[in-house]
Amino acid sequence: MHEFDVVKSLIDLLLPKLKEQGVKKVTEVRFRRGSTFSEDALLEAFSAISKGTPLEGAKVEVVVTQTRFRCPCGHEQVITADDLVGHMFVCPICGQAQEIDEAHDLELLEVVGEV
């Protein structure tokens, strides 16, 4: 699952910074995800990876940005994780497959913690 790896990479980068700053407990974390990044996978991965860290039990807020698809045939739509096969989207009108570069877009926006 690529989403798990993306979340793990963000947390692996964040934990040393929290330690440097003396943060004992994180109360809230805000993410921005593309509409093609599964929110369920994000929340499950965060819960599993944060166990035993200052992030455990933090409230997770997720802001969603829409990933739009425009096919050469003229079809347009916002796509979600359910519309993808791996990183690929198949146009429901003409059947053309297109790789979606934003399929695993996730950004850490804010971390609120206690020292």
- Residues whose CB falls within 8 Å of the CB of residue 60, separated by 6 or more in sequence, listed in order: 28, 29, 30, 31, 42, 43, 46
User: For residue 4, how far is the Cα from the chain centroid?
Assistant: 9
φ, ψ of residue 50 in degrees (nearest 5): -80, -10
Please give the share of the chain, as a percent, with pLDDT higher than 70: 98
Instruction: In whole angstroms, give the CA distance from residue 56 to residue 54.
Output: 6
Residue 62 resides in a domain? yes
pLDDT tens digits, one per residue of 28-62: 999 999 999 989 999 999 999 999 999 999 999 99
Structural domain total, the chain: 1
Residue 37 resides in a domain? yes
Residue 75 resides in a domain? no
Instruction: In whole angstroms, give the CA distance from residue 6 to residue 8.
Output: 5
pLDDT tens digits, one per residue of 62-75: 999 999 999 999 99
Residue 8 resides in a domain? yes
Ramachandran region, residue 74 (left: φ > 0; alpha: ψ -120 to 50; beta: rest): left
Residue 97 resides in a domain? no
Range of the domain at 16: 2-67+102-114
Per-residue model confidence (pLDDT) at position 1 = 54
Residue 40 resides in a domain? yes
* Bridge partners (DSSP) listed for residue 67: 79
Residue 46 CB neighbours (<10 A): 21
Residue 84 resides in a domain? no
CATH of the domain at 33: 3.30.2320.50
Residue 85 resides in a domain? no
